[in-house]
Structure 1
């Protein structure tokens, strides 16, 4: 793994666990075992540029993972239940859901930086587009597709936040049952 990729992966993990504002440059440099010069070589605009790069990498990872699940199942219902099963399994196995959630970054930085807000918006829009495409394949009416995709995205993201906050996968289980009935 090259240095830039290692910095991105390490920073993403730190930002998700501790929050962007809490992770200082010194901590980041120590965690990556790099110098300040090496950091600025890869991210000349600093920590915010790194955060946006982390969000873009997270967006790619989530999208690829979801797309592979969506490609495996015929219906939106089956695909979403598989995504939720994966999230539940991750929580039950690891006690957290790392990699699929960036809500802490959004709530912390979305109002402070327009560039970060836009990067976060892109992540959500990509997820909504994937869900909308699957709903379209199911034959859902065109005027309902975007609304339903937004509702599903918000519900799952909220379920992740509630699971992390309550320290249980129960919210995701309930969402899985309810979405399974209405889709």
Structure 2
């Protein structure tokens, strides 16, 4: 399955991109780096610049229909930039309207709030997003990983880099069901 990993050109938390990417690739999926601009993205290790990664596809030039699932890595700046880009927000929303599973970690649910897809859902995130998610109509829980929904259109969320092992295992299980 082709899995979109959506990031802004700058500000993604590197480990929240690379660990899920490796897990998806090791499971036989095709991870695809989608960004709002062509070229490379700049990852961060907290507030320090880390590695750069080549963009495979640009959000305004691709479609959610060409992917089976979506992963939204965190980092504080990454989802903040994404939620200000109308094409990125529409891309995320299209996964939900198309009934495809989505996985988001740490601060990434900010983009989900902007896409107006959390209302009535239960999810987790970095704790500082709790009020934003509740104000957007979601139920926030403090759990390592949370799956919301049955069948297609499941949402997998996690709180932080320490939860990456559980996050990766869980989204791979959910995505495998979708692929079947």
> TM-score by structure 2 length?
0.32
> TM-score by structure 1 length?
0.31
Q: Which has the larger radius of gyration?
A: 1
Quick one: higher RCO (CA 8 Å, sep 6+), 1 or 2?
1
Higher helix share: 1
